[in-house]
Structure formats: C-alpha cells, structure tokens
C-alpha cells in the first residue's frame, strides 16, 4: 500500500538544519550520507515517526530560485503539522529550547494548536488532536 514517507524541505545548510531540528524539536537524525555530486541525503524525524511514515528530507537549495523559496514553501501558510499526544509538555519544551511561536495556544474543535516557525520561517502547527 503506498504511503507518504518523506517531505522535502529546502534548507540553506545541511548541518545548520540538522542542528536546529535535533536541538530545538528533538528530532532524530535518521540518515546522512553523501550523494554525488556534492549533495547529501539527510533525513530527520520526530522519534518513532518513521514507523508510521513521515520524515523530512533536508534538501540544500542548489539554485537561486530554490534559495528564494527557503522559508516560503507554502507562501506564508502553515506548511507542516507536528502532532503530539501532550501539547502542554511539547509546547513548554519547545519554548524552553528557543522555538518561536507566533501565537498563544488555542483550542479548536479539532484540537489544541499553536503556530511556530522553523529556523527559516516556515510555519508549522503544533497540534494535539481532539480525541
């Protein structure tokens, strides 16, 4: 059965992005290997995510057009959704790690949610779905 496994995320620098996702969001570095010529195959993901599918392929921008799109892959809309089973725990941990939230947490019919930005300005939802 097909499933979505990776989402490519444009980055300026592999090591900078790896450091941010592992230190700020607690992601794990799943894979980091050279891909000639001069590229790397770099995958990060939250703990236990890849068993369910869904990691980030960090893609270093190679052209001027790609560099212009870093941080704007969804044109200012929320681009990625990070689901949690404990919003308060992860929200507090992310704030302590220096993650920048754009709003206070809010309660919606679908769950508790707040928007944050990654190191390049892409917008994410941290969300604990309503059971």
User: For position 102, what pLDDT does the model report?
Assistant: 98
pLDDT per residue as tens digits for the range 97-131? 999 999 999 999 999 999 999 999 999 999 999 99
Q: Give the DSSP per-residue string, 75-111.
A: TTSEEEEEE-S-HHHHHHHHHHTT-EESS--EEETTE
Q: Are 11 and 84 in contact (CB under 8 A)?
A: no
Give the model confidence (pLDDT) of 18-60 as tens digits: 999 999 999 999 999 999 888 999 999 998 775 666 799 999 9
The dihedrals phi and psi of 111, each to the nearest 5 degrees, come to: 155, -175
């Amino acid at each position: 059965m097909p499933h979505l496994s990776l989402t490519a995320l444009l980055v300026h620098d592999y090591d900078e992005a790896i450091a941010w996702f592992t230190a700020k969001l607690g992601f794990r570095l799943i894979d980091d290997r050279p891909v000639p010529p001069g590229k790397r195959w770099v995958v990060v993901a939250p703990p236990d995510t890849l068993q369910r599918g869904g990691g980030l392929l960090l893609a270093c921008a190679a052209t001027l057009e790609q560099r212009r799109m870093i941080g704007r892959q969804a044109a200012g809309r929320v681009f990625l959704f990070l689901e949690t089973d404990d919003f308060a725990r992860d929200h507090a941990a992310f704030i302590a790690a220096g993650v920048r939230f754009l709003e206070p947490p809010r309660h919606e019919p679908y769950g508790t949610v707040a928007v944050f930005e990654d190191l390049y300005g892409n917008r994410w939802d941290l969300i604990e779905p309503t059971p």
